[in-house]
Structure 1
Amino acid sequence: MKILFTFPGQGPQFPEMLHRLPATALSQSYLTRANAALGQDVLTLDSAVALRATREVQLCLLISGVVWAEHLRAAGVQPDFVSGLSIGAFPAAVICGALEFETAVKLVALRGELMQQAYPQGFGLSAIVGLRQLELELLLDQVNSPMMPVFLANINAENQLVIAGSDEAMHQVCVLAAENGAQKTRKLAVSVPSHCVLLDKPAAKLADAFNSVTLKRPTCGYLSGSSARVYWQPEKIADDLAFNMARRVNWFDAMVAAYQREVRLAVEMPPGSILTGLTQRVMTEGLALSLSQTAISELSTLAQRLERR
């Protein structure tokens, strides 16, 4: 039985999320390190106003993911694999030992700024539930154009998909999706068109920044949420981190890959539990749990019991 730590992308963030980290010396040490790396008080990043900005959201998700995962590890729960959706790949890379925390803070700040500057308004992501990939791609073909760009961005489950593009184009696709049997459409709390060619240029700039960064071989498997492959080579992890903003997310295949590698316990780091529901669909003979909804002590006991089986 193997254990997977998962880290969410943008969407489940909430005001004061860094203020609600465990009140421990471990949490404070990471906040202090983040302050030094960023050159500002990171506890100013999680106000309702601050979280309107992509940079602030991504930094909060990085810090939160690392701190919660380190608390879980301190309780004796060690991952065999880590995987993150979009920005979640960065705390995953820190926890598996491939990327230094301070370096991740600086890179994520740059990542958020690049994405924010590329599309300051009028673009984003929308979720569509109830259609399969081929069905949705036919609708995208009807709308997508240079003036109205829209693309398939995430394959979260076989019938849970996300599109990226201009607000107007996404609205048209959502209307068509509803007319063609979609159960639900919803614009997400993400202000940039992630995981498509619209972010090729920002991704290339982030890749340039990675040229001056040295990554290490991970101590556990780094499972890409884009390619659904497990990477051990530092250069492949760097490439995955730099370009994942412009590459389609394939969380469904990533979780299939984890299950095939004998993962039977997947734990999602706060905030939220979106990945938990998606992962449980695949892990038919295992458990997917959210640390937002399950105490660390309970997870530690459960992991020990499962390992003895």
Structure 2
Amino acid sequence: MSLLFMYPGQGAQRTGMLHKLPDTIEVDDTLSQSSEILGYDCQLLDSATALESTHSVQLCLLIVGVAMTRVFAANGIVPNMVVGLSIGAFPAAVAAGVLTFSDAIRLVQLRSRLMENAYPVGFGMAAINGLDKFELERIIEKFHSSSTPVYLANLNAQKKLVVSGLKLTLDKVMQQALHSGASNALHLAVNVPSHCPLFETAAKQMQTSIDSILLQRPGLKYLSANAARSLFDPQLIGIDLAANMARQVHWFETLRLAQELGAQLAFEMPTGTVLTELATAQWSDGTALACDTSRLDTLIALAKRLQSREQ
């Protein structure tokens, strides 16, 4: 039986997310370290205005993910495996010992700027529930073109999908999806078209930067949500980190892999509860809980109980 830490992606951000972290030494140290690397107070990043920027969102998700991981570690709780959705792959890589936190901050600074500069306005993502992959792909095919791009981006569950692309095209796909039987369709709080070929050029630029960094072999199981498999080779993890902005997310398959590898308990790092809800719906044998909606002492107690069963 294993403990899985899940790190959310863009769209999970909340105003004040850095200020709502537990009042611990580990959090204070993480915030101070972040501010020192960035050259300004990182707590300026989580205002409502700041979080309109992809740059601020991605940095906040990295910082809170690492801070919460350190809080658990200080209480003797270290996961057996980690997985991150989109930007969440970076705090997951830090937790696994693949990346240093300082390198992760610098890479996320670059990643967020590349994404934001490539598509500053008019693009985004939308969630569509109630249709399967094949039904939604037929709709996408009707509206996609080089001038009206739209792609299937995330397969979060069998009938919980996400599309990326031009917002005007997303609107058409959403409308057609509802007409075709989708239970709902809504725009996500993401201002860039993640997880599609529109970011192939940016991914190559990310790879150049990652190639200059010394990556370490993971000290625990690192699951790729894009490949839906465990990665052990640091070079392959680096390729995965660089390319994930341009690759589909296979979250459903990755959760299935986690269970096959023994995951029985999953904690979703701040912020949000989406990953917890997906795991709860999918796992017939296992428990998923979100840090945002659970007491820290309860989570620690559950993790220690799991550890005692392993011994």
C-alpha distance after superposition, 1:238-257 (max 9, x if no partner): 11111100000010000000
1-side partners of 2:143 and 2:280: how far apart?
33
Whichever residue aligns with residue 244 of structure 2, its letter is N
Match of 1:179?
A: 179
Name the structure 2 match of 1:122.
122
Task: State the Cα deviation string for residues 60-113 of structure 1 (Å, max 9, x = none).
Answer: 000001101111222222201000000000000001111000000010011000
Deviations 1:278-306 (A, max 9, x none): 11222211101111111121112112223
Structure 1 distance, partners of 2:207, 2:37, is 20
Distance 2:182 2:201 in 1: 32
| Pairing of 1:73-92 with structure 2 (within 5 A) | 73-92=73-92
Asked if the contact 1:122/1:166 (under 8 Å) is kept, the reply is yes
2-side partners of 1:26 and 1:51: how far apart?
24
Q: Summarize deviations over 1:3-34 as a string: whole Å, max 9, x none.
A: 10000001121111111222222111111111
SS in structure 2 opposite 1:45? Answer: helix
Q: For residues 266-305 of structure 1, what are the structure 2 equivalents within 5 Å?
A: 266-305=266-305
**Residue pair 1:228, 1:254 contacting (<8 A) in 2 also:** yes
1:245 aligns with 2:245: yes
Cα distance in 2, alignment partners of residues 290 and 5 from structure 1: 10
Name the count of aligned residue pairs: 309
State how far apart, in whole Å, the 2-side matches of 1:67 and 1:92 are. 12
Aligned pair 1:113/2:113, yes or no?
A: yes
Structure-2 separation of matches of 1:47 and 1:293: 21
Instruction: For 1:1-309, list aligned pairs within 5 A.
Output: 1-309=1-309
* Structure 1 stretch displaced more, 89-98 or 32-41: 32-41
Partner SS for 2:127: strand
Q: CA deviation at 1:183?
A: 0.1
> Identity over aligned residues, as a percent?
44
One-letter amino acid of the structure 1 residue matched with residue 21 of structure 2: L
User: In structure 2, what residue type is equivalent to 1:143?
Assistant: F
Kept in 1, the 8 Å contact 2:223–2:230? The answer is yes
What is the CA deviation profile of residues 182-231 of structure 1, one whole-angstrom value per residue up to 9, with x for unaligned ones? Answer: 00000000000000001111111111111111110111011001111111
Distance in 2, Cα, partners of 1:41 & 1:56: 12
SS class of match (1:292): helix
Which secondary structure does the structure 2 equivalent of 1:23 belong to? coil
Check whether the contact 2:24–2:71 (CA below 8 A) recurs between aligned residues.
Answer: no
Instruction: Report deviation, 1:149.
Output: 0.4
Unaligned runs of 5+ in 2: none
State the TM-score, normalizing by the size of structure 2. 0.97
Query: CA offset at residue 50 of structure 1?
Result: 0.7
What letter corresponds to residue 107 of structure 2 in structure 1? L
Q: Structure 1 stretches (4+) deviating beyond 4 angstroms?
A: none
Aligned-residue CA RMSD (Å): 0.9
Contact 2:26 2:74 in 1 (8 A): no
Indicate the larger mover: 81-90 or 282-291.
282-291
Supply the AA of the counterpart residue of 1:301: A
- Equivalent position amino acid for 1:277 in 2: E
Which amino acid counterpart does residue 199 of structure 2 have in structure 1? L
User: Displacement, 1:264?
Assistant: 0.4
Q: Distance in 1 between matches of 2:227 and 2:66?
A: 22
The separation in 2 between residues aligned to 1:300 and 1:61, in whole angstroms, is: 21
State the distance in 1 between where 2:158 and 2:252 align: 7
Secondary structure of 1:5's match? strand
